[in-house]
Structure 1
Amino acid sequence: MITDDKGYYEGFYSLLDATAHLKVTHYPSDRHLLEGLDNHWPVKRLRWFTHGFYSVERHIDDILITDLRMGLEPSYVFRFKVARMSNPHAQPTKSRRVAGERNWEKLLWVWQRIWSTDPGFNRRHDSR
């Protein structure tokens, strides 16, 4: 996992790989949605707890923070609603955990990827 100002990159590597080539996929994060919420306790706590490994998204009018350390795109364990969009800025709300998508097929893919020595494995499974 690599993060930057525009989002984060996810990649997978097995110790059994013959080469050190790592293909990464970029996913956007809208951290600007948290502007004005720096002192909102749920935002402060999640920034601290995730050590900066979080994403921000707007889902309808809810502002969600996702902890990127547990899971893989799009199946993360911890997602929280921390604000609601109100024209023109987000308004703080009581923090509420939001159920994330569970993709058990992708978990199986990760297990198979760990043990794969096939260099074409990533290319055949990029769509998952």
Structure 2
Amino acid sequence: MDIKEIMEIIPHRYPFLLLDRVESLEDNKIVAIKNVTMNEYFFQGHFPVEPVMPGVLIVEAMAQAGAVALLKRDEFKGKIAYFGGINNAKFRKKVVPGDTLRLEVELTKIRGSAGIGKGIAYVNDKKVCEAELTFMVG
């Protein structure tokens, strides 16, 4: 799935669209990519001397990937997924310009208009972040 297809599913736009492509989407599992470049707006202040992607934006990128997986389901097409919660977030390594962030999210529970997903972010097959994400569809 390319950027145009992603933008047909989720409402995020520059500067807050944190996905570049979806590599796979099967059942309740999605793998998406975010190419991290020095041109990201947040590197102006985080940190000018040592650019590091804010952990909260890594979690947001995972949530956007999860939202794509959720909103591709027939019952949620055309709706918006909102963040309902973040649990057990852990940050293991820095994400810096030049990294390719691979976001893997598995929707583990969907009940009514709510869902829970387990997200893991990797750089070079090394885990950089993981979290449990709660979604609400509106």
Give the structure-1-normalised TM-score.
0.30
Which structure's relative contact order is higher, taking Cα pairs within 8 Å and 6+ residues apart? 2
User: 1 or 2, which has the higher strand percentage?
Assistant: 2
Give the structure-2-normalised TM-score.
0.29
Structure with larger Rg: 1
